[in-house]
Chains A and B, each alone.
Chain A
Amino acid sequence: MTNTVASEWVKVWSVRSTWWCLAATMVLMVLTALTLGGSAVTEQRQVLDASGPVVSATSFVQFSLVALAMLVITSEYSSGSIRSTLQATPIRGRVLAAKALVVAPVLFVAGVVSGAVATAVVYVVLSAEVFGGLVRLEPGALVHDLVTAGVFFALVGVMTVGTGAALRGAAGTLTVVFMLLMGLPLLLVMTGVPLALEISLRMPMFAGLAFMGSADNLTGGPIPYSAGEGLAWLVGWAAVALVAGLAVLRRRDA
């Protein structure tokens, strides 16, 4: 297992797409957090934790990291290198586990680092007098927001790896992951049907927001469960995707 993880580690860092996705994440995170933070202090005129906008930004920023996680598996199918991967490691579950074990920490660190940079930028910019000095930097909130955002990204990454293993193609994987992360929950909320809203709130987007402590369900109401339950839903989604990926990987010819 250690060998397989080491191999996947070499693979993820030896393609440019990884670096592009991380750079994009950094840029997106800073810009999105700054935009969201700026509009929060100018519109609501209330004190803002500098790390708060990072949490709100995750819904948008996650897609550059989804791309990273997706390419870890779908590029193997598009290039045919999956055959050399499975020749080296014929126990297929091990390959999938190793990919998840590499993607999760990379995305966690990407979330923490990009979140930290974004927080610093938000703090510096919004400290300017025009914004009325409404921004503050509070260590407890900072650690909480960065760590939970990192965990959220890590779990979204694992879910993407699983989905990629199940679908193999980049287009299909991206479509399904986008629908799960954003398309479906928003559509369900828009229907206004109570059951649809309940389902939507259990999907990764709102589960993630609940977990990260930004508990607003977009209709003005709260997310009706705890941060812990939010984490449980996230883990559940990641696990289901991983199991689906494993089932396909094991059964189908490579």
Chain B
Amino acid sequence: MISLKALTKKYGDHAAVDDLTLEIKPGAVTGFLGPNGAGKSTTMRLILGLDRPTSGVALVGGVPYHRLKEPLRTVGALLDARAMHPGRSGRAHLRALARSNGIAVGRVAQVLEMVGMEPAAGKRAGALSLGMSQRLGIAAALLGDPEVLMFDEPVNGLDPDGVRWVRQLMRSLADEGRTVFVSSHLMSEMQLTADHLVVIGKGRLIMDAPLPEVIARSSLTAVVVRTPYAGELAVRLAAAGGEVTRTGESELQVTGMAVERVGDLAHEAGVRLHELRTREASLEQAYRELTESSVEYGVRG
């Protein structure tokens, strides 16, 4: 569990993270979304105590990060896969990390195997591809078998197999009851992986909701009705509070109304339907709507 309370980080007058209050719960994959410069990486650095907040607090399992005695056993994080000494082998990097937290050195071989990096573990980190560095970074995050995991853009540089592997890994970590907090720009990937979404823009919280709710709230999620009596049904639906757009001779799109209600109203009106379905917005569409308004807000504010 990660809790942020009025977390704020200012660089001069500019607030990179602005009054962020939220909880990231265990047993779920929480996607962390926002445009470049929205403050995602800064938020993660604040959680890890790498940056000091201007005000507010970030707690992991109820305590500030620096209070954790052997933090790698509680929190595993991958912020920047390239942040390794280029001359040190992956294995030595992990061994140094294991030593620092009193983790048995045998665990290093285990995590290397988990991420499929065993054959390349002796290579100098500077000679690894981005994808391999990414795997090594994930191995480092898993080292202490932590209950909280944070990943900043974990699929960067991974091939399609790697991307699928990361998706399954996140899923299984969450299913084991761990807290998984992951940022990504790849909306299609998030839509497949995340249970819950936190969206920020200009350092501020825009949305903190389950993925299905984010999709449902999008204006692009609509009920599509095809009927020969489109005009008649449109009047009826509008009177019942739906927002109706006529998209064709015999087609309507209705928002603000569940598909069941649309069907019931049509039945009551005795209107024959040829098609009745829900068209869901993609996460990408929902996200774009959300962050567009954040940009507007930012300009005004």
Contact = CB atoms under 8 A, between A and B. Distances in A.
Contact of B102 (A3, A10, A81): A3
B96 A10 contact: yes
Contacts of B84: 79-81, 84
Contacts of B199: none
Nearest to B65: A90
B279 interface: no
Contacts of A87: 48, 50, 71-72, 75, 77
A83 B83 contact: yes
Interface residues of B, number: 34
A90 B87 contact: no
Interface of A: 3-4, 6-11, 14-17, 75-76, 79-81, 83-91, 253-254
B80 interface: yes
Contacts, number: 89
Max count, chain A CB within 10 A of own CB: residue among B66, B68, B89: B66
Interface in B39-97: 45, 48-52, 65-66, 68, 70-72, 75, 77, 79-80, 82-89, 92-93, 95-97
Nearest to B72: A88
Interface string B169-211: 0000000000000000000000000000000000000000000
Contacts of A91: 66
Interface string B89-118: 100110111011110000000000000000
B66 A81 contact: no
B85 A76 contact: yes
A91 B68 CA distance: 10
Contacts of B89: 14
Contacts of B77: 87
B86 A253 contact: no
Given A81-B85, A88-B101, A91-B66, A11 B79 contact: no
Nearest to A91: B66
Interface of B: 45, 48-52, 65-66, 68, 70-72, 75, 77, 79-80, 82-89, 92-93, 95-97, 99-102, 140
B182 to A, nearest CB: 17
A3 B83 contact: no
Contacts of B100: 3-4, 6-7, 85, 88-89
Contacts of A15: 85, 87-88
Given A75-B85, A87-B72, A87-B77, A14 B101 contact: no
Contacts of A90: 48-49, 65-66, 68, 71
B101 A11 contact: no
A84 B83 contact: yes
A81 B140 CA distance: 12
24 contacts: A3-B99, A3-B101, A6-B99, A8-B96, A11-B85, A11-B88, A11-B92, A11-B96, A14-B93, A75-B85, A79-B84, A79-B85, A81-B83, A85-B100, A86-B49, A87-B48, A87-B71, A87-B72, A88-B71, A90-B65, A90-B66, A90-B68, A91-B66, A253-B52
A123 to B, nearest CB: 37
Given A14-B92, A253-B50, 5 more contacts: A4-B100, A14-B95, A84-B93, A253-B51, A254-B51
Max count, chain A CB within 10 A of own CB: residue among B83, B85, B99, B100: B100
Nearest to B140: A84
Max count, chain B CB within 10 A of own CB: residue among A16, A17, A84, A253: A84
Contact of A16 (B72, B87, B95): B87
Contacts of B85: 11, 15, 75-76, 79, 81
A87 B140 CA distance: 11
Contacts of A3: 70, 99-102
A85 B70 CA distance: 12
Nearest to A90: B66
B175 to A, nearest CB: 25
A9 B99 CA distance: 9
B83 A79 contact: yes
A80 B140 CA distance: 15
B65 A10 contact: no
Contacts of A80: 80, 82-84
B45 A253 contact: yes
Contacts of B101: 3, 88
Contacts of A8: 96
Max count, chain B CB within 10 A of own CB: residue among A6, A16, A88: A88
A91 B83 CA distance: 20
A190 B75 CA distance: 56
A14 B96 contact: yes
A107 to B, nearest CB: 20
8 nearest A-B pairs in the assembled complex, by CB-CB distance: A80-B83, A14-B92, A7-B100, A90-B66, A88-B100, A253-B51, A10-B96, A7-B99
